[in-house]
Amino acid sequence: MAIEVRVPTILREYTGGAKVVSAEGATLQSAFDNLEANYPGIGGRLIDDSGLRRFINVYLNDEDVRFLDGLNTVIADQDTITILPAVAGG
Amino acid sequence: MLRISQELVDQIVRHAKADHPDEACGVIAGAAGTDTPKRFIPMINAARSTTFYEFDSSDLLKLYREMDDLDEEPVVIYHSHTATEAYPSRTDVTLAGEPGAHYVLVSTREHGQEAGPVEFRSYRIVDGEVTEEPVDVH
């Protein structure tokens, strides 16, 4: 099951500069595991011990996965995952 | 160096004053690769806070899709400090996610919503390192 993953500028150092990569998995967690296997290091920028990092936004198609099932969100073929770092500060 | 028009500077300042004492935030997009800010996009501070700002998550997706479609980049990312100087806080540095952007900070601590000058400064924030840069207003 191949899905398209859109990678933000700040994480393209892991993907050899690629803006769009593909990943496989039935859930967001397994897609991220697959990404980490292909692009070592990227996983730690997305997930920490408590789950999805607070200031990383992940969207399945148009929906923030926090409003779906987070890392357990089920993914279907042809879905698009978009990763965007939060624009935030103090 | 940040080169920016007076009109865009005024728009940022107006937004910061209007939202004071909450922090105001937004982006000025420009054509990719030009380093020239053109399109002023004020954002809602979803945190509605005097000490924190965050773009709303669905607004953020919409913004990046729009810039992608128009072949634009976030040339300037701005926000205001309302009680402290216009210098990136530790949180600003930790969360800075656009190494190519000019991070503009303004401070409304002196005059709030009233008329009066606003501190306006620009920085690069790359790998946790802050470098202030000159601002050329034309």
Question: What is the set of domains in chain B, with CATH numbers?
Answer: 2-137 (3.40.140.10)
- Residue A84: Cβ within 10 Å count: 24
Residue B97 tokens, joined: 């996610």
What residue type is B47 in one-letter code?
A
A65: nearest CA in chain B?
A: B57
Handedness of CA A47, A39, A16, B58 (dihedral sign): negative
Cα–Cα separations (whole angstroms), residue B75 to A12, A39, A57: 18, 28, 20
Contact residues on chain B for A52, CB-CB shorter than 8 A? none
Contact residues on chain B for A8, CB-CB shorter than 8 A? 97
pLDDT band at A43 (very low <50, low <70, confident <90, very high): very high
By Cβ distance, the residue of B60, B79, B88 closest to A84 is: B60
pLDDT band at A22 (very low <50, low <70, confident <90, very high): very high
The percentage of residues in chain B with a pLDDT greater than 90, rounded to a whole number, is 100
Cα–chain center distance at B33 = 19
Any chain B CB within 8 A of the CB of A49?
no
pLDDT of residue B70 exceeding 70? yes
Angstrom distance (rounded) from CA B88 to CA B121? 10
Q: Which of B131, B87, B64, B18 is nearest to A87 (CA)?
A: B64
Q: Do B61 and A8 touch (CB under 8 A)?
A: no
Q: Which pLDDT value is given to residue A1?
A: 65
Cα–chain center distance at A47 = 9
Q: So where are chain A's domains?
A: 2-85
Angstrom distance (rounded) from CA B52 to CA B54? 7
Contact residues on chain A for B91, CB-CB shorter than 8 A? 88-90
Which residues are CB-contacts of B7 (< 8 A; sequence separation ≥ 6)?
none
CATH architecture observed for domain A2-85: Roll (3.10)
Mean pLDDT score, A68-88: 96
Q: Which pLDDT value is given to residue A2?
A: 87
First to last CA, chain B: 13
Mean pLDDT score, A54-70: 97
Q: Are A27 and A53 in contact (CB under 8 A)?
A: no
Residue linked to tokens 């919409």: B62
Angstrom distance (rounded) from CA A29 to CA A74? 9
Residue A13 tokens, joined: 């150092």
* Mean pLDDT over the full length of chain B: 97
- To which H or E segment does residue A32 belong? helix A28-38
Mean pLDDT score, B89-107: 97
Any chain B CB within 8 A of the CB of A8?
yes
Q: Do B43 and A87 touch (CB under 8 A)?
A: yes
Gyration radius of chain B's alpha carbons: 14
pLDDT band at B114 (very low <50, low <70, confident <90, very high): very high
